[in-house]
């Protein structure tokens, strides 16, 4: 599963010249018809990403988004497979953080 525990993912720019691009990848589950991906900040009230996909990967892109300093740490993601219309268990949650705001901005 990628990103692994402790990974540091992309952050955007406060001037909105560059946004966020996060890629999630996990192992195929035999006969799975879809997967449910949840990405959230611990302590948040709702997931940032709450998606169903038929692929065993997902690319989240928001061209003008950024994560504020107070929310850089304590992110987690997990995924579950649906086989024959039945949802399985979620994977063990993986944790990550995001790079500092404005770390890779175009000037």
Residue 80 structural domain = 7-98
- Classify residue 2: in a domain, yes or no: no
CATH number at 39 reads 2.60.40.10
Give the total number of structural domains in the chain. 1
Confidence check: pLDDT of 6 > 80: yes
- Classify residue 47: in a domain, yes or no: yes
- Classify residue 103: in a domain, yes or no: no
Q: What is the mean pLDDT of residues 67-76?
A: 96
Whether pTM > 0.85 for this model: the answer is: yes
Bridge partners (DSSP) listed for residue 51:
37
| pLDDT confidence band for 107 (50 / 70 / 90) | low
The pLDDT tens digits for 33-42 are: 999 999 999 9
| pLDDT confidence band for 106 (50 / 70 / 90) | confident
């Amino acid at each position: 599963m990628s990103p692994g525990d402790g990974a540091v993912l992309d952050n955007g720019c406060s001037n909105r010249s560059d946004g966020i691009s996060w890629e999630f990848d996990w192992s195929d589950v035999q006969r799975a018809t879809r997967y449910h991906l949840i990405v959230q900040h611990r302590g948040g009230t709702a997931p940032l990403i709450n998606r169903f996909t038929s692929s065993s990967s997902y690319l989240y892109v928001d061209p003008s988004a950024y994560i504020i300093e107070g929310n850089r740490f304590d992110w987690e993601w997990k995924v579950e497979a649906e086989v024959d219309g039945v949802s399985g268990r979620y994977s063990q949650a993986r944790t990550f953080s995001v790079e500092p705001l404005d770390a890779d901005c175009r000037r």
